[in-house]
Amino acid sequence: MIDIKFLRENPEIVKENIKKKFQDHKLTLVDEVIELDSKSREIKLKGDELRSERNSLSSQIGSLMKEGKREEAEVIKEKVKKINEDLVENEKLEAQYDADVKERMMKIPNIIHESVPIGKDDSQNIEIKRYGEPVVPDYEIPFHGDILENLGGIDLDSARRVAGNGFYYLLGDVARLHSAVLTYARDFMINKGFTYCIPPYMIRADVVTGVMSFEEMDAMMYKIEGEDLYLIGTSEHSMIGKFKGQILKDENLPYTMTSYSPCFRKEKGAHGIEERGIYRIHQFEKQEMIVVCEPEDSWNWYDKMWNYTVELFKSMGVPVRTLECCSGDLADLKAKSCDVEAWSPRQKKYFEVGSCSNLTDAQARRLGIRIKGEKGNYYAHTLNNTVVAPPRMLIAILENNYQEDGTVIVPEVLRPYMGGTERITIK
């Protein structure tokens, strides 16, 4: 959510930003907010005037009673009573205008960074840089679902019977590889100075609407029936929610945290859930990183964070590239975002395995996360980045380490987490 003061003073900039995100249907929201905000301020001014008048009259009542002027005092009491009635109605209007303004402000996208390329969708994202040499072997790389089955590492049929499409059982050395990736990623981030955390896997509605737009919420979140609770789609949600309503001391910043969690996503709008694969699923596990920092430090942290992901993939021998997300591919709260994509030798192209985002003060403003500094209180900046999401990481590892005989070489850095296992063999 952007600053309403900024919107009041710069409505055309806000409208131009909406156009750059190809959301012209939201342009009317700016004028609606300005009109409602004006009415809200008028009503609040009227309320202040009524309270001032009430206080003045109330002080007269005591004086008149002391002077024995009871009748005059009773007349003023009636006036005070009428003012109180007017204030009740006025406060109802205040609350309604505030709610109407907030509802519209929550739909207006964050101001994108000036460096963000303008484009309608992810097809117009721009490659920044490649890391590692993408290799296509002279033998065929099977579909990752077939590799998993040949290694005895997945049972999708049982998962479908138990939960439906979009779920899986991982087994044996493949399950162990999955856990190894997560544990290695955890230690990798701890060594970067991040504090390890295991957060709640459910969050309340006011946290959900604080960390994401309504459109994202509807497409992603699973609601717990009969409870004010949602299953998290990523641990970023509960990690940023940890600071909700807090005033942070500037000397304690930045907060740098890395978290493990399962993640649950409806994947509403996806073009079907693959029955044989694990690329797009309803449940997966992930290592995440978040930073809460001073506004002037957030762009430095943004560059550090996506570089950590690139470094992690390089350490496992997986070629990757980074992409600058264009304006139309940015979620509403994001000021700038960078995707990390891993090389797929089977498809001979890259595929997304992580995303780094700077949300500036948009999340902090929604959640009330402020910093107490020498010049008063101000909103923090929040950032998040995928360290690793093993289902897609598994695909990258399997394909880039697949051997002609059907076995898969375990990346050297993961072997200590697998009891020294160097190769996963066919079962």
What pLDDT, on a 0 to 100 scale, did the predictor assign at position 305? 98
- With a cut of 90, say whether residue 308 has pLDDT above it: yes
Token look-up 């807090």 returns: 246
* Mean pLDDT to the nearest integer, 343-370: 96
* Mean pLDDT to the nearest integer, 46-60: 87
For the stretch 98-133, pLDDT in tens is 999 999 999 999 999 999 999 999 999 999 999 999
For the stretch 314-325, pLDDT in tens is 999 999 999 999
Cis (ω within 30 of 0) for the bond into 254?
yes
- With a cut of 70, say whether residue 248 has pLDDT above it: yes
Per DSSP (E only), the strands in 74-181 are 126-131, 154-155, 169-170
Could you tell me the fold of the domain covering 4-105? Helix Hairpins (1.10.287)
* Mean pLDDT to the nearest integer, 162-176: 95
Q: Model confidence at 273, in pLDDT bands (50, 70, 90)?
A: very low
| CB burial of residue 325 (10 Å; 0-12, 13-18, 19+) | buried
d(CA 29, CA 402): 52
- Domain boundaries defined on the chain: 4-105, 122-424
For the stretch 345-355, pLDDT in tens is 999 999 999 99
Mean pLDDT of the chain: 93
Question: Within 10 A of 123 (CB to CB), how many other CB atoms are there?
Answer: 9
In words, the CATH class of domain 122-424 is alpha beta
- With a cut of 80, say whether residue 241 has pLDDT above it: yes
* Mean pLDDT to the nearest integer, 220-239: 94
Query: What percentage of the chain exceeds 90 in pLDDT?
Result: 83
Token look-up 């909700």 returns: 244
Amino acid identity, position 72: E
d(CA 145, CA 46): 67
